[in-house]
Structure 1
Amino acid sequence: MKRICSIYRSTRKREMYLYVLRADALSKVPEGLLAAFGTPQLAFDMVLTPERKLAREDINLVLENLDKQGFHLQMPPPEDEYIEHLPDELLRRNDPM
């Protein structure tokens, strides 16, 4: 299953992306989502296949969402995600024991 996809970046939320089938463009994206997303800016087009690896998304979920709903929304990572990877000793330094 090969899909030609357009990826748009949000003008409102850093690192939020919207994947759509290039042939459909934004026609299947709900109005409410577009309003919250801001003016979509085309980042790039790419061919998606089940074998392709994506940096932050599960390719199978992206393809499934494209088939079922006509789009896939990639949310930005949590801003404090880095803290989860700090050693416990650093996380405890500010604890008021």
Structure 2
Amino acid sequence: MKTVCDIYRSPREEEMYLYVDKREGTARVPEALLKLFGQPQHLVTMVLTPEKRLARAEAGKVLEEIRERGFYLQMPPARDDEMRAIAAQNSKLQH
């Protein structure tokens, strides 16, 4: 099974992406989610298959969510307090 997907990025949240079937666009994405996501900014169109390697999502899961719900929302990676402290320390070392 393969699907032509449009992938959008959120203008409000860094590293948040919305995957949808190109034929449907964002028609099945709940209005409340779109309000939180912000005006979707088109990033790329790609053919997605279960075997496709994605950076932070399993392609089979993405396809399943698109088929069942009309979209897949990829959230930004979790950043805990320890990671924030490391990032802050690294940025101080670079200056």
TM-score range, shorter chain: 0.7 to 0.9
**Take 2:81 and 2:9, find their aligned partners in 1: how far apart are those partners?**
21
4+ residue runs over 6 A deviation: none
Give 3-state SS (helix, strand or coil) of 2:25's partner.
coil
Identity %: 51
Larger radius of gyration: 1
**Take 1:10 and 1:45, find their aligned partners in 2: how far apart are those partners?**
16
Q: TM-score, normalised by structure 2?
A: 0.83
Residue 81 (structure 1) shift:
8.5
Which residue is equivalent to 2:43?
43
**Take 2:62 and 2:82, find their aligned partners in 1: how far apart are those partners?**
25
RMSD value over aligned CA atoms? 1.6
Deviates more, 1:71-80 or 1:33-42: 71-80
Write out per-residue CA displacement over residues 46-78 of structure 1, whole angstroms, 9 at most, x where no aligned residue.
000011110000111101001101100000001
Give 3-state SS (helix, strand or coil) of 2:20's partner.
strand
Could you tell me which runs of 5 or more consecutive residues in structure 1 were left unpaired when the two chains were aligned: 87-97
Which residue is equivalent to 2:92?
none
**Take 2:74 and 2:49, find their aligned partners in 1: how far apart are those partners?**
17
**Take 1:81 and 1:48, find their aligned partners in 2: how far apart are those partners?**
35
Which residue is equivalent to 2:62?
62
Could you tell me which runs of 5 or more consecutive residues in structure 2 were left unpaired when the two chains were aligned: 87-95
**Take 1:82 and 1:46, find their aligned partners in 2: how far apart are those partners?**
35
